[in-house]
């Protein structure tokens, strides 16, 4: 097994996390951790339009928007929020 990718959070993502209910926060963090451990083997869902260049993962009704850098082995979490609102900001 390879080493997990490094996870970075931009300030907005940290703020987004702090606004989530505790149960959802745990689910999101667990999913991000699994993503980092399996970044080379999972399929990443590329986004389009204004979010082109980003990827997303689904955690129930919530979405995590991130950038992926295979060269640096880094995942940068950009936004976290409810699916009905996260894409609008």
Q: Whats the size of the chain, residue-wise?
A: 89
Question: DSSP class of residue 20?
Answer: S
- Indicate the pLDDT class of residue 67, thresholds 50, 70 and 90: very high
Q: Which pLDDT score is estimated for 73?
A: 96
> Residue ranges per domain, the chain?
6-82
Residue 23: per-residue pLDDT? 96
Task: Report whether 42 contacts 55 (CB < 8 A).
Answer: no
Surface-to-core class of residue 12, CB atoms within 10 Å of its CB (0-12 exposed, 13-18 middle, 19+ buried): middle
Tokens of 50: 């204004």
pLDDT given at position 31: 97
The class of domain 6-82 in CATH terms is alpha beta
| Number of Cβ atoms within 10 Å of the Cβ of 66 | 26
pTM higher than the cut 0.85: yes
The CA distance from 39 to 33, in Å, is 10
Q: pLDDT (tens digit, 9 = 90+) per residue, 9-55?
A: 999 999 999 999 999 999 999 999 999 999 999 999 999 999 999 99
């Amino acid at each position: 097994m390879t080493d997990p990718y490094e996870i970075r959070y931009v300030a907005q993502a940290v703020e987004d996390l702090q606004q989530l209910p505790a149960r959802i926060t745990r689910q999101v963090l667990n999913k991000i951790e699994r993503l980092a451990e399996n970044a080379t083997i999972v399929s990443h869902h590329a986004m389009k339009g204004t979010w082109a260049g980003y990827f997303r993962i689904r955690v129930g009704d919530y979405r995590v928007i991130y950038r992926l850098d295979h060269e640096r082995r880094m995942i940068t979490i950009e936004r976290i929020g409810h699916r009905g609102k996260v894409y609008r900001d």
